[in-house]
Amino acid sequence: MMRRKGLVAILDGLLAYTVAFTAIGLVALLSTTAQEANLKTTYTLNVWAEDLADAVGMSLTDGAEDPTRWLDPDSIGDEKEAEIREALTASLGRIEARLGVQIRVEAGADTIYGDRLAGVGESATAKRFLVSSGGSVSVLKVEVGI
Amino acid sequence: MKRKGYIFSLFVFFMFVSVFIVAATHAKSVSVLEESNYDRVSLMKASNVIRNLRNAVDYGTLCAVGVDASGSPVASETGAVRTVEDAGMPFEIDVGCSLAVATVTVTTPAGDEYVLKIPS
Amino acid sequence: MDMKMRSKSGKRGQVFAIDVLFSILPVMMILGASLQYAYLGEEQMKILSADSQRQGAMQALSEHVMAEYRSSPDGQPYVTAEPDYACGGLKDAIGNAPGMPQGYEYHVRVEMPSSSEEHICLDDELWSHGGTQLLDAYYVGMESSTRLPGASGIRFMLEYDEEGRPIPGQIAGVSFTVWDADPADYAKT
């Protein structure tokens, strides 16, 4: 490279720094703008998952008992459990179609609605505790993906 | 000729440095937003789980009363609801047992603690 | 002070010559474009900030109703398909909400699995304009030619039967919407 002197050297240096700053700046701007859009989606999906977890949990009761005590499906009578599953399938299916999301609900060892989420960009999970008649604790998991 | 270029390139330089500064401040504000969003989401989930625990779980599920070597009763955790941080529970749940009360402490990553006491 | 500079070799030259101005022209164009861009950016920021406020008002409303629902022992304000009571609880909850931000209209719509109709809980007129497709995404900002901008969100509750007990598995969607109040109407109150 030719050695440049004086003011021209300063100008060259400025040009080099300018290009560097601009390039870094543009890359940073592009990536952070994408990040920001994710924030609202994350919050929204979590709100939905939490709401649905509460609603499903409240459904998992054996009519006669305390409705605030949420039961593992194994501890609910078969007939009652079938009713609950049917109602949930209808409700959650409607919600999935309306919102364009995928929902999966696992209660204890069973999956009571949905399959593994496939092709989702982002998902949120909500968990609650269920008790079984033997006194042990299992987990209700609701996943919502979009 | 050289001096004309001097002013021109100074203008251009400062303009493009401002792009860099805008990008840097935007990146910082987005990272602050992300952190506060994470905290907000954790707080929401923690309070929901606390409410769930208060309703669903009783002393017997959390603590088992046994006897120690000298024959006096002592309470110990059953480990039923201990959990580690994961996507559905971005906080820690710790259970402490005494004969009179089971204490459930939920700690969010930001350091906020919720304490729930369940009497025996 | 004069308008001439001295070059290295001591010769004097004029700074504000036409060729200097000509060469600065691209700089001026860039400056002009960036000023315009800054102005557009500011206008955009005003819109974003108004959107954000509206979404905040909507979120506040939905959180208030959900918090009341969760904290009450009998699930008030619950939603039920029983026609006379479908939204009674919701209307009361919203009517009693303290400190709702001024300058907005608040609307609520409920969709229940056991009823094929949608129950409009506040302001029937809004929905009769065929607005059923609008309102199920959280944080959606909306505008239509007949209305000012709005924000909408959806929450979920279990549906209750007419005796006030939850019906297992029937999950109802409750849609909260906040529109900017028409200044003409707002000025009257």
> What is the chain B residue with the closest CA to C67?
B48
Q: From the CA of B27, how many Å to the nearest CA of chain C?
A: 17
Count of residues for chain A? 146
The answer to whether the Cβ–Cβ distance between A125 and B16 falls below 8 Å is no
Evaluate if residue B75 carries a pLDDT over 80: no
Work out the average pLDDT over C153-168. 83
pLDDT digits (tens, 9 = 90+) for C64-84: 888 888 887 777 777 776 665
- Report ipTM for this prediction: 0.76
| pLDDT tier, A50 (very low <50, low <70, confident <90, very high otherwise) | very high
pLDDT digits (tens, 9 = 90+) for B41-73: 888 888 888 888 888 777 877 887 877 777 777
Rounded mean pLDDT of chain A? 82
Interface test mutation site (partner C, options B11, B18, B25, B29, max chain C beta carbons within 10 A): B11
| Least trusted range by pLDDT, from A128-132, B34-38, C143-147 | C143-147
pTM of the model: 0.76
The answer to whether the Cβ–Cβ distance between A58 and C113 falls below 8 Å is no
Distance (Å, rounded) from C-alpha C182 to C-alpha C148?
7
> What is the chain C residue with the closest CA to A101?
C137
- B/e letters for A79-88, b = 16+ CB within 10 Å, e = fewer, are ebbebbbebb
Q: Which chains touch A (3 or more CB pairs under 8 A)?
A: B, C
Q: What percent of chain B has pLDDT over 90?
A: 0
Helices (runs of H) and strands (runs of E) counted in chain A:
2, 4
Work out the average pLDDT over A29-34. 74
Distance (Å, rounded) from C-alpha A64 to C-alpha B116?
27
H or E segment to which residue B26 belongs: helix B2-56
Q: Is B7 in CB contact (< 8 Å) with chain C?
A: yes
Residue matched to tokens 């924000």: C151
The answer to whether the Cβ–Cβ distance between C23 and B11 falls below 8 Å is no
Residue matched to tokens 């500011």: C42
Q: From the CA of B111, how many Å to the nearest CA of chain A?
A: 20
Chain C residues within an 8 Å CB radius of A83: 168-169
The answer to whether the Cβ–Cβ distance between A55 and C155 falls below 8 Å is no
Q: Which chains touch C (3 or more CB pairs under 8 A)?
A: A, B
> What is the chain A residue with the closest CA to B87?
A125
